[in-house]
Amino acid sequence: MKKLLGKLAFLKKIKCNKDICTKKNIIIFCVAVVVIVVGVLLFVFQDKITLFGNSAKKIGQNTIKYINDNKLSQVPASLVSAVSEHGLVKIKIKIDAQEFDSYVTKDGAWLFPSAPIEMKKPQEKAQANNNKNTETKTPAPVVKSDKPVLDAFVVSKCPFGLQMQRMMAEAIKGSSSLTQYFKARYIGSVSGNTITAMHGEAEAKENLRQICIREEQASKYWSYILCHIKAGDTTSCETSAGIDTAKIDACVASPSRGVAYAKEDFDLAEKYAVSGSPTLILNGSTVSEFDYGGRTADAVKSVVCAGFNTQPGFCSTKLNTQDAATSFSATYASSGGSTNNDASCGQ
């Protein structure tokens, strides 16, 4: 900045005479002054200026509105602060007494929490999804077996993990035979006799309860999930699914039961290099639901069916081809239209 100010001082010392103060030179002189002054202002106020006329605060406010309007958080989010930093807008978000740092591009199009989320207008999303749905994809070769197993790695508070659980629960409603080929697994780690999760203690506790239900009351697991994904309720969903609550409480409290079951999931996640919720592993290999139609009940059925040496009859049954809603939702499909995207919650 000293150099820029020095140039201004130099220009002030120039004196006119009849030879040099022509109209053209005056114009050049004025343009030079304007350029230098603008340069100084940009240098001084670069952290306050954002693209497209939006202030950092305004971009932060729009981001919070997007998160809440699209229910990307179970608890409403609020804005703590927003500043320009490294060409992006750094925002501090508060959710349920916890604060998180995230970044937004200065055009307000992309949000970077732990994974990027594209923020488009509804009509832009619809057009993008229409383009995606018209693409012809050739699924990658998969390992086949007589009884394939599709492991879906999720976490219980991730909007896209809930979306995957919703797809699988809907598929099972359409064809109960799929139950024996689906297994929801969880991402996390063990510290002492306590498990941790990417979205905090509440998520870790719910992950553990779901793991205990899956392992010790397996026939009631999907009934519980079908209820839980609607509003995140635990107590009433355990009742409606007929869960033995005392047994689940004992499982959660026992390192040799609940924590041991969880560690098996976490070890498998590490083995397969799983880092995002959801991630699908079919017969030990990573697969993409988008090679089979996207985030729909029919697509997740088709993934399993691709893993059979000889496909059973239910593989020819067409299931729900609507995109499943993200986050907690009382309905299977999103009321806002298509949600077909490959977003995930990352560690």
pLDDT at 82: 86
Comparing 258 with 137, the larger pLDDT belongs to 258
In a domain, 216, yes or no: yes
Comparing 30 with 297, the larger pLDDT belongs to 297
Q: Given a cut of 50, is residue 13 above it in pLDDT?
A: no
pLDDT at 48: 42
pLDDT at 325: 94
In a domain, 25, yes or no: no
Q: Given a cut of 90, is residue 123 above it in pLDDT?
A: no
- Residues 68, 155 share a domain: no
CA–CA distance, 343 with 340 (Å, rounded to integer): 9
In a domain, 75, yes or no: yes
- Residues 305, 160 share a domain: yes
Which of 90, 120, 150 terminates a domain? The answer is: 120
Q: Given a cut of 60, is residue 7 above it in pLDDT?
A: no
Which of 89, 120, 151 terminates a domain? The answer is: 120
Q: Given a cut of 90, is residue 168 above it in pLDDT?
A: yes
Determine if the peptide bond prior to 278 is cis (ω within 30°): yes
Most confident of 6-15, 51-60, 85-94: 85-94
- Residues 308, 247 share a domain: yes
In a domain, 263, yes or no: yes
Q: Given a cut of 90, is residue 215 above it in pLDDT?
A: yes
- Residues 328, 250 share a domain: yes
pLDDT at 22: 52
pLDDT for 149-166, tens place per residue? Answer: 999 999 999 999 999 999
- Residues 299, 154 share a domain: yes
Lowest mean pLDDT segment, chosen from 4-8, 66-70, 233-237, 284-288:
4-8
* Closest by Cα among 327, 344, 296, 333 to 70: 327
Which phi and psi angles does 35 have, rounded to 5°? -60, -45
Q: Given a cut of 90, is residue 187 above it in pLDDT?
A: yes
- Residues 192, 60 share a domain: no
CA–CA distance, 157 with 205 (Å, rounded to integer): 11
pLDDT for 20-65, tens place per residue? Answer: 445 555 444 444 444 444 444 444 444 444 444 468 888 888 888 8
pLDDT at 122: 54
Lowest mean pLDDT segment, chosen from 57-66, 139-148, 259-268, 317-326:
57-66
- Residues 327, 183 share a domain: yes
CA–CA distance, 232 with 225 (Å, rounded to integer): 9
- Residues 199, 104 share a domain: no
- Residues 282, 231 share a domain: yes
In a domain, 13, yes or no: no
In a domain, 71, yes or no: yes
What is each CA distance from 254 to 73, 209, 247, 283, 291, in whole angstroms? 30, 12, 11, 30, 40
Return the CATH number at 81. 3.10.450
Which of 69, 94, 120 terminates a domain? The answer is: 120
In a domain, 70, yes or no: yes
pLDDT for 226-277, tens place per residue? Answer: 999 999 999 999 999 999 999 999 999 999 999 999 999 999 999 999 989 9
- Residues 206, 151 share a domain: yes
Domain range enclosing 67: 51-120
CA–CA distance, 322 with 332 (Å, rounded to integer): 9
Return the CATH number at 243. 3.40.30.10
Taking residues 291-296, report their average pLDDT: 95
- Residues 246, 301 share a domain: yes
pLDDT band at residue 121, thresholds of 50, 70 and 90? low
pLDDT at 65: 86
pLDDT at 118: 54
- Residues 229, 336 share a domain: yes
In a domain, 187, yes or no: yes
Split into its structural domains, the chain has a count of 2
pLDDT at 2: 47
pLDDT at 206: 97
